Structure 1
Amino acid sequence: QDYIPDENILKLLEKVISSFNTSPYPLLEKEREFLGVGLPLGNLTSQLFVNIYMNKFDQFMKHKLKMKYCIRYADDFVILSEDKKELENLIELIRNFLKNELKLELHPNKISIETFSSGVDFLGMVNFPKHKILRTKTKRRMFKKISKKREELKDKIISQESFNQSLQSYLGVLKHCEGRKIEWKIIQKNFA
């Protein structure tokens, strides 16, 4: 209601949210604390909800902190600046805003200040001024998932078509970065 003034849209969104089943298993005490909190993940409306909710953050970054280069996707964001001290000072301001205004917390292991020359790690890729590469952890996860799919194919848990669709999805990701060597490795392992 704080974010959407239109009653008809609110009623529609309420129907969408309430259409999600909750787990039939009893909740732990910590889980009960968050009952009714969060977004229905997996539903296309999740992207809409996160953007509506995080709009307050976007406005804070743009108008209050006057940040020119803040890039956000869902709840992941990167701030670009040539001034390291400015970035260091922003951390506490952002932490307080997220906690007090949106009831969110910065993940302590995901806060880092890097130079442009070492690349900007964002959404599974390390971005440089003129190119991007797949993050090492993302690459490892990709190969692990492909191996699992290959085993499922071998054990006839999935079809060849399903396996090929998964491979095409990973190969599609690689088109968005310098992934030719990885692409070649996947093709050799799975089609040779």
Structure 2
Amino acid sequence: MEPICEAKFHNHSYGFRPNRSTHHALSRVVSLINIGHQHYCVDIDIKGFFDNVCHKKLLRQMWTLGIRDKSLLCVISKILKSEIEGEGIPNKGTPQGGIISPLLSNIVLNELDWWISSQWETYKPHRISTRHLGFRQYARKYTNLKCGYVVRYADDFKIMCRTYDEAQRFYHATVDFLKSRLGLEINPKKSKVVNLKKNSSVFLGFKIKVVKQGKAKFGYIAKTSMSDKAITKAKRQLKERIKGIQKEPTSEKVTQFNSTLLGIQNYFKYAVTIYMDLTEVNYSLRRVIRTRLRNNMKHMKFCETSVNFKRKTKGIQPNTKIYAVQNTPLLPVTGIHHKNPWNFSQVICNYTETGRNKVHSNLKAIPKDVLNQVIEDYSKNKVLSTR
């Protein structure tokens, strides 16, 4: 099913698709703000999306996409209607946690992607010639169409617009489309139009806001940071790991703390203010570490750690003192630098020869010693331990 669907999915749908990630979706939104000057955002929250998918509509959408094997459609229908213990046979919704549920959710919302795109991005004009640049600029300036671009990750999507009027028109049109065509309701408390110059919008755990940059007329850029919810969650997770080290001060528990912190750093390193956000997290953790680990920890210099450990951190001076338990150092919370997200190359695809070559050419850019080190660390299960 996936090869057929991949050929029909919208270019800027990034959720649960091969070679795509949340950072590609974030990069697309940032590019629309910095280059396209799309400073108004339409936030729409679908109420209970995975529990309200219409089975009949989904099977019709699969047929339209080109999946016309009736035996396969029959199997999908039986999966959707499989009995749930204590609840019976569901009339709507996709199985939570099912291996095929992410693909089915993309099939449902693919119709929404192309409808939003047809309003502006992929709209083909007929009356005004766009062969010359002057006609194209005139058509864009005096059009009555809604200018907007969709970026979607699973059921979380944004529509980026230039003006408040266009954003309002997209908001009401999208709400009507979801209800009339897909049978889905929205959460009115979480759905709104956001002026990114005045307020922020949360997307995939990142808080996005437009700030002034320079003195130019269009001198506005996107400022990304960890959302308040993400900061609170990071504090809670790391404090729980510290409590685990207090109860059982072993190298394995320290490695679990380091793994959790490394996951947070690697995910949010694409936020512009990542260092400031993690400084806030670090401030709340210092007292917890000193109180709970005072009898089990010692100090060691950063230069005394292993080469592998140093590779995991950025911007730490050699003489900086760090905490260690059982000679296993704890990763510094603020030991990370911001990294600019890259837009996804639409050429990449696992099901075309050109796309596969592009995937392998990207892997060649990784040094062999780094790949060998990753393989060695994984096999030994000692990614962050000292030597």
Give TM-score, length-normalised by structure 2: 0.41
Q: 1:43 and 1:186 mapped to 2: Cα distance?
A: 37
For the pair shown, which has the larger CA radius of gyration, 1 or 2? Answer: 2
2:265 counterpart residue number: 171
What are the within-5 Å matches in structure 2 for residues 75-154 of structure 1?
75-117=155-197, 118-128=199-209, 129-154=221-246
Residue type at the aligned position of 1:105 = E
Change (3 A) 1:12 1:89: same
State which drifts further: 132-141 or 2-11: 2-11
Query: Number of matched residues?
Result: 182
Q: 1:154 and 1:45 mapped to 2: Cα distance?
A: 41
Q: 2:267 and 2:235 mapped to 1: Cα distance?
A: 13
Find 1:60's aligned residue among 98, 115, 119: 115
- 5+ residue gaps, structure 1, are none
Q: Contact (CA 8 Å) 1:120, 1:126: kept in 2 or not? A: yes
Change (3 A) 1:176 1:10: farther
SS at the partner of 1:141?
helix
2:276 counterpart residue number: 181
| 1:119 positional shift | 3.8
Q: 1:11 and 1:153 mapped to 2: Cα distance?
A: 51
Bigger share in helix: 1
| 1:40 positional shift | 3.1
Change (3 A) 1:15 1:180: farther
Q: Contact (CA 8 Å) 2:147, 2:162: kept in 1 or not? A: no
| 2:92 is the alignment partner of 1:40 | no
| 1:16 positional shift | 6.5
Q: Contact (CA 8 Å) 1:121, 1:127: kept in 2 or not? A: yes
Residue type at the aligned position of 2:229 = K
Residue type at the aligned position of 1:181 = M
- 5+ residue gaps, structure 2, are 1-58, 121-145, 210-220, 290-321, 324-387
Change (3 A) 1:162 1:70: same
State which drifts further: 132-141 or 159-168: 159-168
Per chain length, whose mean CA-contact separation is higher, i.e. which structure has more relative contact order (CA < 8 Å, sep 6+)? 2
RMSD of equivalent CA atoms = 3.2
Residue type at the aligned position of 1:10 = L
Q: Contact (CA 8 Å) 1:134, 1:179: kept in 2 or not? A: yes
Change (3 A) 1:103 1:154: farther
Change (3 A) 1:127 1:114: same
Q: 2:78 and 2:261 mapped to 1: Cα distance?
A: 36
Q: Contact (CA 8 Å) 2:207, 2:224: kept in 1 or not? A: yes
Change (3 A) 1:12 1:183: farther
Residue type at the aligned position of 1:106 = I
